[in-house]
Chains A and B, each alone.
Chain A
């Protein structure tokens, strides 16, 4: 039951990513809600859960874009793995860790997306533009990640005692 609920949340985030998030654009960059969710999952539920949900979220994002299904999943996997390298040695993140891993994850995401597009024969943007947009998005995601982690922590505290129905 919880997995179905989690799938619903990831689906909602992926849809919000392509409908609501572009309205929050600053300097051409906008928050990557699915990436922030993956970072939060890694900190709260572990690396394996983060990698699995990165795949699911990425495939959903790919289904909202044109071209092959997989590049965004690979990009999110890279972001998840980069976050996991940091998360491995820490039990409980503070706001700075959450922000820094979201920023690092965003950079890994963009690099993986550009590399995957290159492998699949899709021309990428001008390198300067990619760097500028990636940095702007990294700052944006880094600013939001601590709030996301705190929100999930509080929600988890609320439902911790709820009975498992499935």
Chain B
């Protein structure tokens, strides 16, 4: 189909375009390019929002057939109620250890005591190797890079970049993500690292205390990156390692990014 000349021209074009894209990547990584990058991303946000709304409409139309719609709604309602109750139980367990008076409120906003900005999720990462999501609030709404993002169920991630009317959230599933946590029952402290299906928790050994399955994992506030007491997940499995100084646990994250459509950004907590 192609002659040798055409083939060599294509190879040349490939290398030229690669060099240009690499240069673009390096330039766009600079601090001075952040504003332009954010503005360009914000320009796409309304289109993303429209597509997401259209997808939701299609979901609705499809689910009308048979009793699927009713079952979906009931399932969603039960799941929401279950998530809320699970969160309330964990928060109350943590509260009993710390301060019963301060943590009796069941509503997330009241119990956390933070100022929150609600946002819709308008897009996900472009491929399965990118663990981010796009939300429809930006610097114009008080959202800034570094701010913590939660859902009704618990911690979701943090704002990585913010444009005027949209922001990009790095979820806990991102391999770069690290959160210092403690366990609600045993009180052990460790660090949760991002992972694909479940999160990995590294727990240093402590004398006389061991973690067990079902123990709830909450942010410890150590390091100042996240406020203390946000629910991260529940220990699903734990591998006790006698030959190591720490145990490795798998944490079942309370959030499933694919199902998250609405988030809350904590705007009054500044990571140190």
A interface residues with partner B (beta carbon < 8 Å): 11, 14-20, 22-23, 25, 28-30, 32, 34, 46-48, 51-52, 54-55, 58-74, 77, 80-81, 84, 87-91, 109-110, 113-114, 116, 119-120, 122-126, 129-130, 133-134, 136-137
Contacts and interface: CB of A to CB of B under 8 A. Distances in A.
Given A72-B126, A116-B25, 8 more contacts: A15-B48, A55-B21, A59-B24, A65-B130, A65-B168, A69-B40, A74-B21, A120-B26
| Interface hub of B14, B55, B197 (most chain A Cβ within 10 A) | B14
B41 interface: yes
B36 to A, nearest CB: 9
Looking at chain B, what size class is its interface with the partner chain? 35 or more
Given A65-B132, A77-B17, A70 B1 contact: no
A22 B124 contact: yes
A22 B23 CA distance: 30
B123 A70 contact: no
B1 A90 contact: yes
B102 interface: no
B212 interface: no
A68 B7 CA distance: 31
Contact of B2 (A16, A47, A63): A47
Interface in B1-39: 1-2, 6-7, 9-11, 13-14, 17-18, 20-26, 28-29, 37
Nearest to A114: B129
Interface string B159-184: 01100000010100001100000000
B128 interface: yes
B253 to A, nearest CB: 14
A69 B24 contact: yes
Contacts, number: 163
A84 B262 CA distance: 42
11 contacts: A18-B124, A30-B127, A30-B128, A47-B6, A64-B134, A66-B170, A70-B22, A70-B23, A120-B25, A126-B196, A133-B196
Contacts of A116: 22, 25
A120 B23 CA distance: 11
Contacts of B168: 65-66
Tell me the dominant secondary structure on chain B's binding face.
Answer: helix
B55 A20 contact: yes
A18 B258 CA distance: 11
A18 B123 contact: yes
A25 B173 CA distance: 16
B235 to A, nearest CB: 20
Contacts of A52: 17
A113 B47 CA distance: 25
B1 A87 contact: yes
Nearest to B200: A126
Nearest to B20: A55
Given A51-B10, A51-B14, A126-B175, A68 B28 contact: yes
A39 to B, nearest CB: 15
A72 to B, nearest CB: 6
A130 B130 CA distance: 11
Contacts of B128: 25, 28-30, 133, 136-137
Contact of B10 (A73, A74, A84, A133): A84
The 5 closest A-B pairs by CB, nearest first: A70-B25, A66-B168, A18-B123, A19-B51, A61-B126
B47 A15 contact: yes
Contact of B48 (A34, A64, A67, A72): A64
B113 interface: no
B126 A124 contact: no
A91 B125 contact: no
A116 to B, nearest CB: 7
B149 interface: no
B44 interface: yes
B44 A64 contact: yes
Interface string B111-140: 000000000001111111110101000000
